Structure 1
Amino acid sequence: MKWMKSLVVLTFIGLSSAAHADSDAVRATILGQMNALRAGDAESAYAYAAPDLKRLFPTAERFISMVRKGYAPVTHASAPRFLRSQSKADGTFAQEVAFRDNEGQPWRALYMLARQPDGEWRITGCYLRKVEGTDA
């Protein structure tokens, strides 16, 4: 019976470290795209997009144009803070990020990502909302 408890604890630890690794990889993907957008590097920002998103915007130029029109605050995001996240069994991940735009206004973004066949995380979508008040 004692070995059963150890197995349960080891299984939990294994799941926790896997979830932590996913969380770290997701954060790295989001930060990578944010940094590329802030630098004006359309090709690098586009590289973080999932294949379905790339089918909708088949070139980096079209992608960056869409981002600039509909997600302008993200192109100048600063001081990102990672908030709630959720990993799903279907290989998707949701990550909430608070940040400030180039005018210091607070925003929240909910990034949706999917694990690709090669194990990499890619962004499938982003929902953006302005935060009222002063706290991002």
Structure 2
Amino acid sequence: MRLIAALLLALIMPLAAAAQSPTDDAAIRAAIERQLEAFSSDDGAAAWSYAAPSIQQRFPTPDAFMALVEQAYPPVYRSRSHSFGDLAQTPLGLAQRVEIVDGDGVAWDALYTVEEQPDGSWKITGCYLAKKAGVTA
């Protein structure tokens, strides 16, 4: 799975930034930021609320969603810090690059895929992680 994530991250490197409005860029970053904050404070309902309907269907309760994230995405679940990179159109759809430093000081590249909802909000459809080789903070 990490190999797949690394390949996906490598694929978007040369892609141009997505042509989104500054308002959309800010809304996408805010959704990711708020979900990371919700993970840090163990607020499952808030974290789950930023997941797209397709994710909510697969994990129909906030507790089920939090259990998945805690087990499969520990750098996201307990990040020490993060910074936003480019927003790009990818084969997976619109994706926001985020550099995450986990609780142990290890740096990760995260690729968050997002989709706009009928109400104009942005929801997270996936997160792909790749550990940065030899990088600690």
TM-score, structure 1 normalization? 0.80
Which segments of structure 1 move beyond 4 Å, counting only runs of 4 or more?
none
% identical aligned pairs: 38
Residues 102, 29 of structure 1: alpha-carbon distance in 2 compared, 3 angstrom cutoff: same
For the aligned residue pairs, the C-alpha RMSD in angstroms reads 1.9
Paired residue for 1:107? 108
Residue correspondences, number: 118
Alignment-mate amino acid for residue 133 of structure 2: E
Paired residue for 1:93? 94
Paired residue for 1:27? 29
Residues 108, 17 of structure 1: alpha-carbon distance in 2 compared, 3 angstrom cutoff: closer
* Bigger relative contact order (CA 8 A; separation at least 6): 2
Instruction: Name the one with the larger strand percent.
Output: 2
Q: Deviations over 1:15-63 (max 9, x none)?
A: x995211111100000000000011111110000000100000011110
More displaced, 30-39 or 92-101? Answer: 92-101
Instruction: Name the one with the larger helix percent.
Output: 1
Gap regions ≥5 residues in structure 1: 1-15
Which whole-Å CA distance do the structure 1 matches of 2:94 and 2:30 have between them? 13
Gap regions ≥5 residues in structure 2: 1-17
Query: Paired residue for 2:82, among 80, 83, 86?
Result: 80
